[in-house]
Structure 1
Amino acid sequence: MDSTVFWSTDDVLVIGIVPPPSRMEARAQLRQVVREALAQWLKLDSEAISVESTPGAPPRLLFPGGVAGLSFSHDEGISLAAIGLHGPVGIDVMRVQDIPDWFNLARDYLGPQVAEALSACPAGQRPLALAQAWTAREAALKCAGRQLAEWDEMSLNCNVQHIALQGGFVAMLATPKTDTGVGP
């Protein structure tokens, strides 16, 4: 299976695939690629690594001697996974597109400040700015172990970083802030 490493540190790895058309096949293929990547990263047998997925809880990678944080995101034409070797991680990807009801979407899910900032954007820049804000929020929610919900003012205490992609996609990676305020 062909995969691409988009970003890595000693603690976090972001990989992606061009998925098959079926969402079920894309999920299975991405999980296999994740197991193979972790096996190569830690010099383990991929058969010794499993993906634990429970509804309502973030997925995790189980391997001999440890557990790694895991996050998935899919959009038509790309599937991404982030592996957090030492804890939770969140990833989100979205195709940049014009969304007619962008203001209500932003207000309801990203908060009034983001909605107002998007209102101030030139119309030609708004789809990119919305995709960046949306993927940042969703990645932070995943990192915090929370599901997508309407806006609340709860701080998610995450560092969010842009992951460079081509083809009109935006992706963001979230990692927990440490006591120093810096990510892992």
Structure 2
Amino acid sequence: MLWSGDGVLVIGIAAVLPRAEARLRIRAAVCEAAAQWLKLNVETISVASTPGAPPRLLLAGRAASLSFSHDEGLSLAAISLHGPVGIDVMRVQDISDWFHLARDYLGPLVAEELAACPDAQRPSALAQAWTAREAALKCAGLQLMEWDGAAPACRSHALPLPAPYVATLAY
């Protein structure tokens, strides 16, 4: 367990695996963690997913919101009992075209804030801004899209992860 509060549970698995295997492992870990968290039999819990829609966790006849994120070596999942949830993880890296990426996907204000960052801090700040945006979009049930001026209304929480990863939970 990485974080818990407000009816939300975040778990992660660290392993360098092919994406398909990482997806299977995090889904199994979600069912096991939810069973322990909610004191349910793991056989009564399953993950339901439909292309184009957020996944759901089926818990003994009721559903909970669920979100997944993967980056090389780390998979995260967030479960919410009380509403939509989104999670995103990213490995901090230097991106040469960071300003255009930030302007196009995070908006002009974030791009300017990143431009004001010292060069050494910019990759981490970009990764944190990116994960915040993507987690909020997932929470709102939206796919990644270019900046349109709208910011989904949700609470967000930066998750404490070891370097070189950053992640944000939105609920």
CA distance in structure 1 between the partners assigned to 2:6 and 2:31 by the alignment: 17
* Aligned equivalent of 1:39: 35
Matched residue pairs, number? 171
1:71 and 2:70 are equivalent in the alignment:
no
1:20, CA displacement in angstroms? 4.4
1:159, CA displacement in angstroms? 1.0
- 1:73-125 Cα distance to aligned partner (Å, 9 max, x none): 00011000000011111110111110011011101100111111111111111
Question: Which of residues 9, 21, 25 in structure 2 aligns to 1:13?
Answer: 9
Q: TM-score, normalised by structure 2?
A: 0.97
1:126 and 2:122 are equivalent in the alignment:
yes
Q: TM-score, normalised by structure 1?
A: 0.90
**RMSD over aligned Cα atoms:** 1.0
CA distance in structure 2 between the partners assigned to 1:63 and 1:162 by the alignment: 27
- Please say if residues 90 and 173 of structure 1, whose CA atoms lie closer than 8 Å, have aligned partners that are also in contact: yes
CA distance in structure 2 between the partners assigned to 1:173 and 1:63 by the alignment: 21
1:65, CA displacement in angstroms? 3.7
1:80 and 2:68 are equivalent in the alignment:
no
1:96 and 2:92 are equivalent in the alignment:
yes
* Aligned equivalent of 1:117: 113
- Please say if residues 19 and 29 of structure 1, whose CA atoms lie closer than 8 Å, have aligned partners that are also in contact: no
Which stretches of structure 1, 4 residues or longer, exceed 6 Å deviation after superposition?
none
Question: Which of residues 60, 79, 85 in structure 1 aligns to 2:56?
Answer: 60
1:10, CA displacement in angstroms? 4.7
* Aligned equivalent of 1:142: 138
CA distance in structure 2 between the partners assigned to 1:21 and 1:138 by the alignment: 23
Structure 2 SS opposite 1:80: strand
CA distance in structure 1 between the partners assigned to 2:115 and 2:3 by the alignment: 32
Structure 1 unaligned spans of 5+: 176-184
CA distance in structure 2 between the partners assigned to 1:100 and 1:83 by the alignment: 34
CA distance in structure 2 between the partners assigned to 1:19 and 1:67 by the alignment: 28
